Chains A and B, each alone.
Chain A
Amino acid sequence: MLETLALVKDAGPGIGSPIGSPVDPPRDIAPADNVKPMVMLQDVTLKYGEMLALDRTTMSINPSEFIAVVGPSGCGKSTLMKLVTGLLPPTSGHIIFDGFHVDGPVKGAGMAFQNATLLPWRTTLANVMLPLEIVQPYKGKIRSHRAEMEAKAKTLLDVVGLGEFGDRQPWQLSGGMQQRANLCRALVHEPKLMMLDEPFAALDAFTKEDLWEVLQALWMRQRFTAILVTHDLREAVYLADTVYVMSNRPGHIVRRCTVPFPRPRTPAMTFDPAFTELVNELRALIAAVRSSK
């Protein structure tokens, strides 16, 4: 594995330096001196029974940072998401979110999966408003300030281009539209943390690129901290400030790359040589990681 890393390291200047021993994290993954990280993982290991799924993973994510996690299938990306949100307790190691130890499901995180999981008995607008019925302080106000909350949800639907579809049932929307509504539902309560597990994997290329722009616009409005799991390297580079590359199972982080491109990024930028070069480097790195044992 060391050879493959060395090989990729020579490939170009766009990629950051490889991480050494996870026990002794190098400078560049430690938080910047004056910023308190929003999410921090310290030597997090997870076993499903006897099987090691995630191996001593260390990460530090700043507030409002958009990170992407890429890696071979089955390397533990979805597991990482469950650990960060407290849905699974780690076998060992520490997870800190917003200054507190995670020891149970976090409160108020937004989450979106590959299938939109909208509730078919609610209209699109009512679906988007679901978090407002659960998360404080909105929960306490929803009865008395219903109109205000509805306006909030409607504004968000407008931003993603679903303004006219609020009163439709979810099954009357196309897959791409459902995923837009899903993003709205994940963000309506203005969460500090947004978890995205392959949210666009089931969409066609055009819809996908539209939604990259939508998601970026939402991020620039709300500046939440985002963790995106994806198999699409262009997507990762387009959306993220930092891309983490994970190894084969048991997963651990083999590389952290900073994406230097300014925002807002446009689909045209994805044809920029620097952009393509970074994507290709990541691709080569994952290919190397996949073939290593």
Chain B
Amino acid sequence: MMQSVVKYGRPWLITLLLLLVWELAVRAFHIPEFVLPTPTRIAETTWQFRQHLMLHAWQTLMTTLVGFFFAIVVGILLGVAIGSSSAVYDSLYPLLIGFNSIPKVAVVPLIVMWCGIGTVPAIITAFIISFFPIVVNVATGLASVEPEMKDVLRVLGASRYEVLTKVGIPRSLPYLFASLKVAITLAFIGSVVSETIASNDGIGFLMLSASSRFQVALIFAGVIIIAIMSILMFLVCVYAERKLVGWAFRGQPT
């Protein structure tokens, strides 16, 4: 009990210490607020603009989650298609690798040109930036099914579909969840970047307009809110992983 308090308390303690050092350093060296505001100043600003921030945070969260949802759906479908057929694997995999090496941010202006500004390009950016790791992991999970396991099922008379549902998909679930933890963070990056470039809503837009008015404390408030949302969604993925593929950890807490 005591041990776990110490174990889980430590990161919080370190965070507090860092904030304290930050606060003291800014005060001691008289760093002006438009360069680096103190944590207390940031907290103050956050409270002051709380309604504003909540509104934009909600927008960003929804945009990200919609993009992430499509990334999961398309990622799983494409991953299953690629992983369960070596012909599709051979023809699509190199393409995907090539696609992934394009910096997605560079594509945002194109998306804006096609879809206008606002929520839609942000959703699309969140989607294209986050679906790739899902595809790759699902495909890898399916391709890593032991051939013996498949043979056992095939000589029982199992169809391809049965092999997929009885072994392939459960086998690739741990891979899927590993990729979701990466993908959700990427989805936030995607939507915020797109909001910064082409939107009148969302934390990205808020931060951009704050920077044009030298409200540095507000920028920090935005950064912190994104970080908090990102961490919370990450924890949701971790929780779902524990619930659904606990077997992959052999009953050991990780």
Contact = CB atoms under 8 A, between A and B. Distances in A.
Nearest to B151: A87
Contacts of B162: 134
Contact of A171 (B148, B155, B250): B250
A121 B250 contact: no
Chain B facing A: main interface SS: helix
Interface in B153-189: 153-158, 162, 166-167, 170, 173
B58 interface: no
Interface residues on B, range: 20 to 34
A117 B156 contact: no
Interface in B134-153: 146, 148-149, 151-153
Contacts of B170: 119, 121
Contacts of B157: 105-108, 134-136
A263 B158 CA distance: 35
Contacts of A130: 153, 166
B49 interface: no
B155 A117 contact: no
A195 interface: yes
A87 B163 CA distance: 14
Main secondary structure of the interface of A (DSSP, over half): loop
A141 to B, nearest CB: 16
Contact of A108 (B146, B156, B250, B251): B156
A87 B153 contact: no
Given A117-B146, A121-B170, A195 B156 contact: no
Contact of A119 (B156, B158, B167): B167
B148 A85 contact: no
B247 interface: yes
Interface of B: 146, 148-149, 151-158, 162, 166-167, 170, 173, 245, 247-248, 250-251
A276 interface: no
Closest 4 CB pairs of A and B: A107-B157, A109-B155, A105-B154, A121-B247
A155 interface: no
Contacts of B156: 107-109, 131, 134-135, 189
B254 to A, nearest CB: 15
Given A117-B148, A120-B250, A171-B251, 17 more contacts: A105-B155, A107-B155, A109-B155, A111-B155, A113-B148, A119-B149, A120-B247, A131-B156, A133-B166, A134-B157, A134-B166, A135-B156, A136-B157, A169-B247, A169-B251, A172-B251, A186-B152
A240 B154 CA distance: 26
Contacts of B250: 120, 169, 171
Interface of A: 82, 85-87, 105-109, 111, 113, 115, 117, 119-121, 130-131, 133-136, 169, 171-172, 185-186, 189, 195
A131 to B, nearest CB: 5
Contacts of B251: 169, 171-172
A248 B176 CA distance: 45
A223 B187 CA distance: 59
Nearest to B173: A121
15 contacts: A87-B155, A105-B154, A105-B155, A115-B146, A117-B146, A117-B152, A119-B166, A130-B153, A134-B157, A134-B166, A169-B247, A169-B250, A169-B251, A171-B251, A189-B156
A134 B148 contact: no
Contacts of A85: 151, 155
Contacts of B173: 121
A120 B246 CA distance: 10
A185 B153 CA distance: 11
Nearest to B247: A121
Contacts of A82: 151
B167 A115 contact: no
A270 B54 CA distance: 80
Given A134-B158, A169-B251, A111 B151 contact: yes
A117 B154 CA distance: 14
B10 to A, nearest CB: 31
A186 B148 CA distance: 13
* Centre residue among B151, B155, B173, B250 by max chain A CB count within 10 A: B155
A133 B151 CA distance: 16
A120 B248 contact: yes
A35 to B, nearest CB: 24
Contacts of A87: 151, 154-155
Contacts of B148: 113, 115, 117
Contacts of A105: 154-155, 157
Given A113-B148, A134-B162, A121 B155 contact: no
Nearest to A120: B247
A121 B156 CA distance: 20
B234 to A, nearest CB: 24
Contacts of A135: 156-157
Contacts of A113: 148, 152
A177 to B, nearest CB: 16
A117 B245 contact: no
